[in-house]
Amino acid sequence: MARARTTADAFNAIAEPHRREILTLLKGRERVVSDIADAMGMNQPAVSKHLRVLREVGLVRVHPEGKQRRYGLDARGLEPVHGWTGGFEEYWSESLERLNTYVKKRQREEER
Amino acid sequence: MTPDTALSDRELMVSRLIEGPRDVVFEAFTEVQHLSRWWGPDGFTTTTRTFEFSEGGVWEFTMHGPDGTDYPNWIQWMEIRPPDVIVLRHGEGPDDPEQFSSTFIFEERTDGTRVTLRSEFKTKALRDRAAEEYGAIEGANQTLDSLATYLTGR
């Protein structure tokens, strides 16, 4: 089975260790990209790419400040991760995963 | 309501990118022959007694868990706006005092359709219980949970 996209949900986004490290860096304070890049020993384009994924799934927020953009944690995006120990979150994550499989299958059938 | 409106303490939300055009994804919510193929977690099946997809219409069905447990379900569609929004009431029956409201939002993306579900419960206590027990499925991932706890300092 093909792997889910990194932007599919918070779980896929934080499967990547650098992105978890960025979240840890943003804990407690906002930072600009160059600051994060320095802290991680990575170049800025690579960090920006990770930040884009984290924003897409709602784990990181951006605040423009003059010419700079400050990044901070967005706790909203972590709700699914909190809830995942069963219950509602798992129910719906699995349902939507099945929906995805079903929709892809229907499209393949139409192409035939 | 948009997917970005802040969550209240009576709400739960899940969001997922579905790899297909919005009309196809929306259609999967409109007929039993589609719904029965994906609604419910892994290993669950559904038996439908009544189904009428219209505002005020009802879907009555039983969900069969992988362990043989049956769960009565009752859904009434409150608002249907193809292909953007579906709002429904969900409970065990029409008189279930613990019914909750669910809003599905469908957004077109370049690589598919983002489906966001927001459910609003009558009280925070009901919301908290649903977060842990909804569907009565056992599941745990301590690594992710402790990561989340660590990151948010909860």
Helix and strand totals (H; E) in chain B: 4, 7
Domain boundaries, chain A: 10-111
User: Could A79 and B7 be called an inter-chain contact, meaning their C-beta atoms sit closer than 8 Å?
Assistant: yes
Query: How many beta-carbon contacts under 8 Å exist across A and B?
Result: 140
A29 touches chain B (CB under 8 A): no
B60 SS3 class? strand
Fold of A10-111: Arc Repressor Mutant, subunit A (1.10.10)
CB B28 within 8 A of CB A102: yes
SS3 B109: strand
Q: Measured between CB atoms, which of B16, B41, B138 is closest to A9? A: B16
Integer Cα distance of A52 and B126 in angstroms: 34
Task: Confirm if B1 and B79 have CB atoms less than 8 A apart.
Answer: no
Q: What is the pLDDT along chain B (154 residues), one digit of tens a residue?
A: 566 677 888 998 888 889 899 999 999 999 999 999 999 887 888 999 999 999 999 999 998 877 777 889 999 999 999 999 999 999 999 999 999 999 999 999 988 999 999 999 999 988 888 877 765 433 333 333 444 444 455 4
What Å distances lie between residue B125 and B9, B10, B94, B102, CA to CA? 9, 8, 21, 17
C-alpha to C-alpha distances, A61 to A15, A17, A30, B66, B117, nearest whole angstrom: 19, 19, 9, 40, 21
A74 touches chain B (CB under 8 A): no
A69/A36 Cα distance (integer angstroms):
12
The listed CATH number (3.30.530.20, 3.40.50.10300, 3.40.630.30, 3.40.640.10) that belongs to domain B11-152: 3.30.530.20
Residue pLDDT, tens place only, A73-105? 886 777 666 555 567 877 888 899 899 999 999
Give this complex's ipTM.
Answer: 0.82
Q: Give pLDDT, residue B131.
A: 79
Instruction: Work out the minimum CA distance from A104 to partner chain B, whole angstroms.
Output: 6
Cα angle value A43/A49/A71 (rounded, 5°): 90
Contact check, Cβ <8 Å, A82/B24? no
